[in-house]
Amino acid sequence: MVSRPSDPTDLTKIDSVSLAALCADRQEDSELWIEFLRRFTPKIKSFIRSTLRQSMGESAHFGNPAASLDTSHESDLLQDTILRLVQNRCAAIKRFSGTTESELLAYLAVIARSAARDFNRRRSAKRRFHWLAHVPFEYGQAGETPENVRELSARDTVEREILAREVEQLSLQAIQDDSGKPDRDKMIFQLYYFDGLSTGQIAACKGVGLSKTGVEKILNRLKNRVRSAVRISSIGARS
C-alpha cells in the first residue's frame, strides 16, 4: 500500500498512479485531492474540449450551419467527470489497473469523453424534441407568428416543459395505437428524440433489425403520425 508523505509539500513528488490510489483510499484527504486536481484538471479539460470539438465537426458535416465550439459547459463537464471518479467510494479509480501515468491519462480520457458525449446526446435529443413541444402553437390563434411563439416559449419555461411532457405522452400513445410494431417503433422514437442517438447508432442496436435507411423511413413515418395526433388533440382542446 502506498503511504502518504507527512509533509504536504512532498505530495508533488508522488507519482500519478500512486496519487490516484491514495485519493481513492483516503477520500476525505483534501490535500491529496487538491494535488490530483492540480495535475489532471488541464488534461481532463483538454479531453472534454476535444470531444466537444469533434461533435462540432460532425454537426457541421451533417449540415448544421450553427455548429460552433461551445466551451461554456467545460466546468460542468469537469465536475461531472470528477463526480464519476468519486461516486460509490471512488469505484472508478479503484477499477484502474494500470501502472503508468500514460495509462492513467488514457483511463481519465475515457471517463471525461464519456461525460462529454452523454452531454452532447442529451443536448441533441433536446433540440430534436423541440419541434414536438411547439406543434400545438402552430394551430393557435389567428395572427400568431413564429416570432411570437418563440417569445412566448422563451418567456415561460415552466409551460414549455409541461407541454413537452404532454406531447411526449401523446406521441408514444399515438405510436402504440397506430403502429404495426409499437414496441420497436417506440424504441426507435425514444432513442432518436429523447436519447439523441443517430439513425446509424439506432440501426446497430439489438432488436431494431433495420438498416440506417430503414430507421430513417420509420422516423419520418412516426413524425407525420405524431404531428397528426398532436394536431387533432390541439383542435379538440380548443373546441
Please tell me what DSSP assigns to residue 134: T
More confident residue, 1 or 99: 99
If asked whether residues 99 and 187 sit together in one domain, one would say: no
Same domain (yes/no): 99, 200: no
In a domain, 168, yes or no: yes
What's at 208, amino acid-wise? V
Task: Find the radius of gyration of the CA atoms of the chain.
Answer: 24
Give residue 73's pLDDT.
78
138 & 86 share domain: no
| Residue the block writes with cell 413541444 | 133
Q: What is the pLDDT of residue 199?
A: 86
Domain that holds residue 19: 8-122
pLDDT tens, position by position, 213-222: 998 988 888 7
- In degrees and rounded to multiples of 5, residue 29 shows phi and psi of -85, 100
Residues 154 and 195 in one domain: yes
Distance CA 49, CA 192 (A): 24
Total number of domains in the chain: 2
pTM for the whole structure: 0.54
User: Are residues 198 and 107 part of one domain?
Assistant: no
145 and 209 belong to one structural domain: yes
